[in-house]
Amino acid sequence: MSSLRRTLAAAALSLATLVPAGYAAAADLPYKVKAPPPPKDLPFFLVIDDRVTFSYIFTAAQPGAWSLNPNGTINAKEAKQVYSFTHFDAWAYGTNFFTVSLYKSGKNDSANPCTSTGAITDPLNGFATVAASCAGASEVYGLFRSTFGFNEIFNTKAFSMGPLHNVSFEVGMDANTENRYFGAAKRDVVAGLQFAFDLPYKGYFNLAPLVYWEYANHDSYSQCGAGWTINNIPGVGCNPDGNMRFKPTWAIETNYYMDLGFLPENMQFFSVSGRLAWYGPKGSDTAPLPNNPANNVFPTKVEFNSEPIRLTFDASKAFWGPKYSHFVDVWVAYRYWQNKFGEDHNAPSVACSATIGGVNRPTGACTESSLYSGITVKF
């Protein structure tokens, strides 16, 4: 395989488990690519790959979403169905990756107008809570990442040494919209470098130090007059329109992939992959409001979003032969997400705790720990 093609294959694999800040899971990129034609015949796009995935998160969590069990314990867990479309393409100087997912929750993570599970806060009745039955929330999340390889741009091998395969410039953006009461509408951009390393058995490990800027979001819980703020002074204890603007911060995104090539040849249908991502503090949890716990405004913390291990079974290769490798993948994974969206899981905030019987109690809604499984089909 040529140096260029190995770079493209590594880039494709590196994005297969990326989807960092959450978000969406993408096990649906090409794991193997055909040998390229001679350089003079290379088309503009060397690889174009589209996939769809259905997956299931068994015990997801959503800041601010919880209910009381009959025994008085708090339930902040909710299963989610996820429907994803993923596009990947590679060209002479880099790669492009795009995914969009629909997350569908059950009623423990309620849609608008429920302000909490099974309840609506009535502003015309002294903000009293009245019973309601709302559908589970729906969220659409999109993400893209593009890389530009330095070896390809400068026509050199200077950025390859030892296990280091390439260095790339990386840019990207995330965006979402959802129909929960707080109506998040996140927009962020990232930029930085990606260092691609080779691993045994056609594997890779990618490390990307980035600048992360969540320049827009929305949270009705912080909006003046919504009934959730302690200090109703605009710019001090509440946001006039509920719109938030966070500070730029650092991020580190990593991901890996490796075939289980040490298995006997008649069992080489399995691979492992995963990702780990950290996002630095970005101001207060309702920025641009200043940190002030007395006003229920708390500082954000380092967010850790991970899928440390995913085991993939190449079903199409197993049943139809190597020609159909990774046309149908069945996989199981583990997710762990602490300080979700930067919310401090230890803070006595609306997002991560609840006052029950006059006592503030952590809900566990800002930490997600879940089994995660799905099927991915290439078309």
Tell me: the pLDDT tens digits for 196-239?
999 999 899 999 999 999 999 998 888 998 777 788 889 888 99
pLDDT confidence of residue 115? 87
Confidence of residue 40 (pLDDT cuts 50, 70, 90): low
Residue 16 has pLDDT above 60, yes or no: no
Residue 118 has pLDDT above 60, yes or no: yes
Q: Given the DSSP bridges, would you call strands 328-338 and 367-378 parallel, antiparallel or unpaired?
A: antiparallel
Per the model's pLDDT, the better-predicted residue between 1 and 222 turns out to be 222
What is the rounded distance in angstroms from the CA atom of residue 242 to the CA atom of residue 237?
11
User: DSSP 3-state assignment of 36?
Assistant: coil
Contact 255, 273 (CB under 8 A): yes
Q: What is the pTM of this model?
A: 0.88
Confidence of residue 155 (pLDDT cuts 50, 70, 90): very high
Confidence of residue 42 (pLDDT cuts 50, 70, 90): low
Residue 32 has pLDDT above 70, yes or no: no
Helices (H), 120-278: 150-153
Per the model's pLDDT, the better-predicted residue between 111 and 127 turns out to be 111
**Average pLDDT rounded to a whole number, residues 353-370:** 94
**Average pLDDT rounded to a whole number, residues 154-159:** 95
Contact 14, 255 (CB under 8 A): yes
Contacts 24+ apart (CB under 8 A), 242-245: 242/183, 242/218, 243/216, 243/217, 243/218, 244/216, 244/217, 244/218, 244/219, 244/286, 244/287, 244/288, 245/215, 245/216, 245/217, 245/287, 245/288
Domains contained in the chain, number: 1
Instruction: Give whole-number Cα distances, 290 to 64, 120, 286, 344, in Å.
Output: 21, 29, 8, 15
pLDDT confidence of residue 360? 92
**CATH label of the domain that carries residue 93:** 2.40.230.20
**Average pLDDT rounded to a whole number, residues 10-37:** 40
Expressed as residue numbers, the domain containing 348 is 3-378
Tell me: the pLDDT tens digits for 175-189?
999 999 988 999 999
**Average pLDDT rounded to a whole number, residues 323-327:** 94
Confidence of residue 41 (pLDDT cuts 50, 70, 90): low
